[in-house]
Structure formats: C-alpha cells, structure tokens
Amino acid sequence: MGCVKVEDGSALSRGDCRAKGGAPGFKVAIVGAAGGIGQPLAMLMKMNPLVSVLHLYDVVNAPGVTADISHMDTGAVVRGFLGQPQLESALTGIDLVIIPAGVPRKPGMTRDDLFKINAGIAIVNLISNPVNSTVPIAAEVFKKAGTYDPKRLLGVTTLDVVRANTFVVSTSQTSLEVDVPVVGGHAGVTILPLLSQVKPPCSFTKEETEYLTNRIQNGGTEVVEAKAGAGSATLSMAYAAVKFADACLRGLRGDAGVIECAFVASEVLCSSLIGVNVVLKPSSELLVRLGRGGAEEIYQLGPLNEYERVGLEKAKMELAASIQKGVSFIKK
C-alpha cells in the first residue's frame, strides 16, 4: 500500500491554462481517445471544470471524436491529433496524460494474453492492460530515456475500488457509501480488497468475504463474458478513469489529503512495483524538484486479517512474475 502526493505549481501558473470563467484549469491528453474507454472518458473530461484544454490523440478516428466532443458547451478547448507524427504535439505542455490505448480482451483470454499485443505501445501507461506489466514497461522506457520518476507513473486500478464499493454495498444491503481499499495489482489474485479496512467499518461472514473477494477479483471477466466478444469494460472504466484523473487534478491544484488507490512503484510490500494506495496532495519538495504532479507519499498496509495475509502472499508472487515479464520485454 502506498500513497501519492501530486503537486504542481507550474501548471497553475501557466497563463493559457484557464477554464471558462477564469478559474485555473489543466491541460489533459487522452491517448487512445477514439476507443471504447477513450470516447466516454473524453466526454467526461470535457465536462470536468478543472480541465481547460483537452487533447484527443488516437491512431484512428481522432478527428471525428474531436469534432463531436467539441460541440459540448463546456469550458475546455478540445484539439484532435491523429497518428504518430502528431503525438509529440498532442503531449507537449500537458499536465496529465491518460492512456486507455490498446486492445481489450475477449472471453477466454486473461489480461496477460494481451501482453504481446499491448506491450509494444505502452509509453506512459495508466490504463492499458495488463497493467501489472505495462506499468513496469513504461518505467523501463522512462529509465532508458533518463526521465524516470516513479512518482509520476500511475497505473489506474480505480475500477477495482469502484467495483468493490458497489459489491460491498449490495452485499451488506447498506445505503451508505463505503470506501474499500484495494491493494496489489490489476488482475485476478493480485487484486486484493482489504475488507477488514472498509470505511465505515462493515463486518462480513467468512462466506461473504470469500464471495466478495472472488467477485471483485473477477469483475473484469464478468463484463468480458457478458459482452461476449464485443470488448471489456468501457463505461465503468471511463467513470473510474475520470474519478482517478479528477483526484490527480485536485492534487495538482493543491488540495490536501486526496487519497486514491493506484499501481505505483513502492517498497512497502516488495522492492519493486506493486499496487498501493495513493495520496494526492501538495508537496513543496515536488514543487521544487519537478514543478509538476507526482506520487508523493506511500502508506504502509494497515493491519491485515489471516485471509488477507494469505491473499497478499499470492498477490506478491503473481505480481513479481508480471513485473519481471514487463521488465524483460523492454530490456530485450
């Protein structure tokens, strides 16, 4: 478990980074903006008052999506970018890059089956699967370029938290909103919900704990099977991506104590990349060192029960293999 503090002084001071009405806004780029996740994500980011400029990049259909989204009467200025020659322009001066580029899985495939297809396009990976390997790949790419900052590379696992919250509320039949910490990675047993740490506190029977853990770990497969070959989660993922992006932007703005789960580099559980909880809040150190946002603080895992301790060991083993797979891929 870890925590990230996102800090940015520079973005706030940029003269052209103002949302409608003169409020400070941020420049956001979506890479893979014409896809199943990318399109609703672009729509939701166009509605976000923290966004003043929205760059939509894809290798196909970017102009159409851009024309469509640009007719929305919200503040952000939308610009489209098509194909590799325009990638650099799409990313120049951007505060936050969200990447849902890549191929989704079909029934019968694991996220790891996407490795060969998606590994080659991961540059700064946030959403593209398999997250457990694409984040380490992106880390290695940055290292090669001499620009790696583990605080700026965040794998998006918010959908696991969103699902966990939904399933816990329906199982415990409470009308209260809950907050379920989910640590580890983003595939199967590496997704580790800490049901003993739900806020407000909930108690579950052994059967409920097993049911919930299993359903949260297999939420993605549930959607893949229901879509029967037409892709994986896109709408709930766009919702989750916006939830996480908004937290990042609030952190960039300087809000204190913004806490989210994400897959970031951490030594809390092992000396390599592992899923963690993330705090996004201001930091003068980062302001001085980076001038832009980053993951700042990593929380220790709270007290685990026996069921979670066993789950954690399984998660660590599988994560270590997925991380190694990503690192070896890029080193070849």
Binding-site residue numbers for substrate are 105, 111, 129, 163
319 and 132 in contact (C-beta within 8 Å)?
yes
Which 168-187 positions form the footprint of ligand LMR (CB under 6 A)?
Answer: none
Rounded least distance, CB 197 to ligand LMR, Å = 21
- The tokens for 106 are 């079909």
Min. distance of Cβ 102 from ligand LMR in angstroms?
A: 10
Q: According to the 3-state scheme, what is the secondary structure of 207-231?
A: HHHHHHHHHHHCHHHHHHHHHCCCC
Query: What are the DSSP calls for 2-39, one per residue?
Result: -------SHHHH-TT-B-TTS-B-EEEEEETTTSTTHH
Residues 201-230 that bind ligand NAD (CB under 6 A): none
Q: Does 27 bind ligand LMR (CB under 6 A)?
A: no
| Chain position whose Cβ is nearest to ligand NAD | 35
CA proximity to 159, closest of 204, 106, 223, 101: 223
Interaction mask 207-246, ligand LMR, x per CB under 6 A: ------------xx--xx-------xx-------------
Q: What are phi and psi of 26, to 5 degrees?
A: -115, 160
CB neighbours of residue 317 within 10 Å: 12
Q: Which of 36, 185, 193, 311 binds ligand NAD (CB under 6 A)?
A: 36
CB of 104 to ligand LMR, least distance (A): 6
Burial (CB count within 10 angstroms: exposed 0-12, middle 13-18, buried 19+), residue 111:
buried
Binding status of residue 100 toward ligand NAD by CB under 6 A: yes
DSSP state of 305: -
Residue 201 CB partners (closer than 8 Å, separation 6+): none
Give the interface segment with ligand NAD, choosing from 11-19, 32-40, 146-154, 167-175 (CB under 6 A). 32-40
* Interface ranges with ligand NAD (CB under 6 A): 31-32, 34-38, 58-60, 100-105, 114, 118, 121, 127-129, 131, 156, 159, 186, 231-234, 237
- Residues within the interface to ligand LMR (CB under 6 A): 104-105, 111, 129, 159, 219-220, 223-224, 232-233
